[in-house]
Amino acid sequence: MGEVNRMNNQTIYKSEAGRTEVRATYDALLAKWPVPSTQFTVATRLGDTFVLQCGNYGRSPVLLLHGSSSNSAMWAAYAGEWSKTHCVYCIDIPGEPGKSAEKQYPLNGDSYVNWLDEVICGLGLATVALVGISLGGWMSAAYAIRHSQRVSKLVLLSPSGIGKQKASFMLKAIPLLLLGEKGKEKIARSLYGNKSISKESMQYITFISKHFKPRTGKIPLFSDEQLRQLTMPLLCIAGERDVMLNSAQTAERVHALLPNADMRVISGAGHVLVNVANDVAVFLNDAAPCKK
């Protein structure tokens, strides 16, 4: 209980001015959303949860969960494509630099699984396809393990919780942070596998790192028994050059424990995956997805 209270009371921003700036920048990005959208909140026990919905309400629902130190703005390049065939819900995770409640909760309990269930129920969805990246991938998998009957399909992009986190990333990142903006830019490039990044993306990544205090604890690994519960159609994509997670171990465990899953490791790709929107769209639209 002490750990929960400690995390609940922490301030996730380095200053109130920084919080205001992050929110204002986020609003500006949402105003540029590529397709018509609706914004609203769903009440949960973890506080109000921000939702951006786009696509036709009559189509199959897809719920998107972003990664750590991020928010739903990261889905802008994907949502336009996926909303052509689905009703897309972009969800801001509580405790991250979005527009949901700003309290963080431990990951080694039921808080976020129960939260996501409240969100899905609050949206009036009986079943849903889940797409999660990094921390959002961990939350999506954790939910699907507990509530498999409610998850029609599962897409995990650079998911935490399957392959181990790389301690070497933090060892390299700490001295780079001392270099200010140039160091933060170098960290951002490493997350993309040292591929080119748009100026706007680079600015927003470094802007959040300037004002937001990210989680520092390890994300729990799923046991073999837990992963075997993921019996729904599953697509997992990882980057060969992921500096944060052991992609080879992710692939090894998925192949061993989930033989019917579609597991892909993209050569030269980093933790942040680009150009996967079409692959995910094909999987979501396939009536009977199967392993290649």
Number of domains present in the structure of the chain: 1
- Give me the amino acid identity at 291: K
Q: How confident is the model at residue 209 (pLDDT cuts 50, 70, 90)?
A: confident
Q: How confident is the model at residue 186 (pLDDT cuts 50, 70, 90)?
A: low
**What would the mean pLDDT of 193-220 be, rounded to a whole number?**
78
Mean pLDDT over the full length of the chain:
87
**Which residue segment(s) compose the domain that 256 sits in?**
2-285
Which is more confident, 203 or 85?
85
pLDDT at 9: 45
Q: Which residues contact 129 (CB under 8 A, 6 or more apart)?
A: 60, 61, 62, 63, 86, 151, 152, 153, 154, 155, 284
pLDDT at 287: 58
Question: Is pLDDT of 120 > 70?
Answer: yes
Structural domain contains residue 292: no
Note the residue count of the chain.
Answer: 292
Structural domain contains residue 163: yes
Q: Note the pLDDT tens digit of each residue in 18-54.
A: 999 999 999 999 999 999 999 999 999 999 999 999 9
Q: How confident is the model at residue 218 (pLDDT cuts 50, 70, 90)?
A: confident
CATH number of the domain where residue 278 is located: 3.40.50.1820
Kindly report the backbone phi and psi dihedral angles of residue 40, in degrees, each rounded to the nearest multiple of 5, phi listed first: -160, 180
Nearest-angstrom CA–CA distance, 92 and 101: 9
- Write down the number of H helices and E strands in the chain: 11, 8
Q: Percent of the chain at pLDDT above 70?
A: 83
C-alpha to C-alpha distances, 276 to 77, 210, 234, 254, 280, nearest whole angstrom: 10, 28, 15, 19, 6
Which is more confident, 195 or 25?
25
**∠ CA 37-124-159 to the nearest 5 degrees?**
70
Structural domain contains residue 176: yes
pLDDT at 190: 60
Nearest-angstrom CA–CA distance, 122 and 127: 12
Nearest-angstrom CA–CA distance, 165 and 153: 25
pLDDT at 39: 97
Structural domain contains residue 291: no
C-alpha to C-alpha distances, 85 to 72, 80, 133, nearest whole angstrom: 19, 10, 21
pLDDT at 7: 42
Tokens read off for 115: 């939260």
Residue 28 burial (CB count, 10 A) = 11
Q: Note the pLDDT tens digit of each residue in 229-253.
A: 999 999 999 999 998 899 999 999 9
Structural domain contains residue 290: no
Q: Note the pLDDT tens digit of each residue in 47-83.
A: 999 999 999 888 999 999 999 999 999 999 898 899 9
Q: What's the maximum distance between 2 C-alpha atoms anywhere in the chain?
A: 50
Q: How confident is the model at residue 210 (pLDDT cuts 50, 70, 90)?
A: confident
